[in-house]
Amino acid sequence: MKMSQLFTKTKKSAPADAETANAKFLQQAGFVYQEMAGVYSWLPLGLRVLRKVETIIRQEMNAIGGQELFLTALQSKENWLTTQRWDDVDVLFKLQSQTGKEYALGPTAEEVITPLVQSFTHSYKDLPLAVYQIQTKFRDELRAKSGVLRGREFLMKDMYSFHTDRQNFLEFYEKAKEAYLRIYERCGVSAKVTESSGGSFSKNPSHEFQIETAAGEDDLILCRNCTFAQNTEIATKQSGEPCPDCGKELAASKGIEVGNIFDLSSRFTDAFGFTVTGEEGEKKTIYMGCYGIGVSRLVGSIVEASHDERGMIWPKSIAPAHVHITTLNAKDKESQDRIMQASEEVQEKLISNGIEVLWDERSNSIGEKLADADLIGIPLRIIVSEKTLKEGSVEWKARTETESHLVKFEDVLEQVQSFVAE
């Protein structure tokens, strides 16, 4: 990918109203474009990150037996009346067709998935099952804020599981919890399982996955020595008290919620009269779980957790590219041709070996190019310049490091491969 061919450009400064790191850097680097408050389009570099996160989520959902589908965003008012949520969910966008029919614009999908699964499921033998989708969701937030963290339109992975057996549900719930932790780890961030309230979705307790960061909206009580964490909304412990699990001192912190899993019990299946026939012909209650990850929100959270004053620092697994090649300007045309050719050779060698490259071959100043590379935050920067080319080398710097060093031209591929695989 050549930078001169990308239609997006970095901006000199972030929009004045961008208060959080993700709002600031994602816009300044041209990863997203704010259409309106809380409503963002994803541009080529941002979309690459989003798709990589999606792929990781999809793999982990498939691994625990999730079947992917794609539900409708327009949802039936009748179904929302059936679950008694039409008037109760304050973030529900409603709209009306020209024939007067009313729809909900999906903020979540219990009202769609429950009758859908019901139509295919009649016997206890058909359960358990889990289905999921990655789909745009809509919430009429009173205050959209914090960039892509709390928007009116966002990308979400939502999974729903159905069980005739409470124990079986609990086992799946644990499997989902582990899958979530794997997802965050593969995305290069660390999330803590946090006990929280079920909110409007469930009366039962639920679990949130929280990334510790100063920009977090949620107040947490947590143990830095073990996995104990509670949202202060429901916390039974206070900062300074001993951890109930390991005895070390508990701390107060802030977190961004990047996922949540809910025990819905039979709240929705009962509402739709969804039961199955048991082994002896009896009607069996169906227990349901709901498992959400805000995909676009996760991308924003990763920026909050991984940036410095100059820009974003992408984990290798989800970066828009592995390597940012920056070609500096030479003094004369002949030298320029030589370093452009050398850069192209490096690029082609890397690409043909499956390495993703963003190549800055623009004629901009060295200062602009280096600032752009830091802002965009690709994990590895390779500078090709007249000076080092004479020594048969390129200048190598990981985004997380402050010092660069020289790498011989012929060693670049091998070293990049180890860097990416690390």
Residues that bind its own copies (CB under 8 A): 6-9, 30, 33, 35-36, 39-44, 47, 50, 67-76, 90, 93-95, 97-99, 101, 103, 105, 112, 116-117, 119-121, 126, 129, 131, 136, 138, 140, 142, 152-153
Q: How far is the CB of 52 from its own copies (least distance, A)?
A: 14
Toward its own copies, which CB reaches closer, 27 or 210? Answer: 27
Let me know how long the chain is.
422
What are the beta bridge partners of residue 13? Answer: none
Toward its own copies, which CB reaches closer, 43 or 319? Answer: 43
Toward its own copies, which CB reaches closer, 34 or 347? Answer: 34
| Greatest distance between any 2 Cα atoms in the chain | 87
What does the alpha-carbon distance between residue 296 and residue 292 come to, in Å, rounded to a whole number? 12
Toward its own copies, which CB reaches closer, 68 or 337? Answer: 68
How many angstroms separate the Cα of 343 from the Cα of each of 154, 200, 245, 415? 38, 55, 55, 16
Q: How far is the CB of 155 from its own copies (least distance, A)?
A: 8
Q: What is the DSSP string of 179-204?
A: HHHHHHHHTT---EEEEE--TTT-SS
What does the alpha-carbon distance between residue 406 and residue 397 come to, in Å, rounded to a whole number? 9
DSSP-based three-state secondary structure for 403: coil
Toward its own copies, which CB reaches closer, 66 or 255? Answer: 66
* Beta carbons of 305 and 211 less than 8 angstroms apart: yes
Q: Is the dihedral of CA 327, 331, 337, 341 positive or negative?
A: negative
Q: How far is the CB of 322 from its own copies (least distance, A)?
A: 19
DSSP-based three-state secondary structure for 237: coil
Report whether the peptide linkage leading into residue 244 is cis, meaning its omega lies within 30 degrees of zero: no
Toward its own copies, which CB reaches closer, 131 or 378? Answer: 131
Give one word for 199, left, alpha or beta, with left for phi > 0 and alpha for psi -120 to 50: left
For the chain, how big is the Rg over CA atoms in Å? 25
Toward its own copies, which CB reaches closer, 111 or 208? Answer: 111
* Beta carbons of 96 and 103 less than 8 angstroms apart: yes
- E strands, 113-152, where? 129-138
Q: How far is the CB of 49 from its own copies (least distance, A)?
A: 11
Toward its own copies, which CB reaches closer, 160 or 409? Answer: 160
Q: How far is the CB of 98 from its own copies (least distance, A)?
A: 5
* Beta carbons of 268 and 275 less than 8 angstroms apart: no
What does the alpha-carbon distance between residue 336 and residue 134 come to, in Å, rounded to a whole number? 46
Q: How far is the CB of 60 from its own copies (least distance, A)?
A: 17
Residues 207, 107, 55: CA angle, nearest 5 degrees: 70
Q: How far is the CB of 263 from its own copies (least distance, A)?
A: 21
Q: How far is the CB of 320 from its own copies (least distance, A)?
A: 12
Q: How far is the CB of 78 from its own copies (least distance, A)?
A: 9
Q: How far is the CB of 307 from its own copies (least distance, A)?
A: 22
Toward its own copies, which CB reaches closer, 137 or 381? Answer: 137
Toward its own copies, which CB reaches closer, 349 or 362? Answer: 362
β-pairing, 129-138 with 67-68? parallel
Query: What are 253's two structure tokens?
Result: 């912190």
Question: In which residue are the tokens 């029919």 written?
Answer: 101
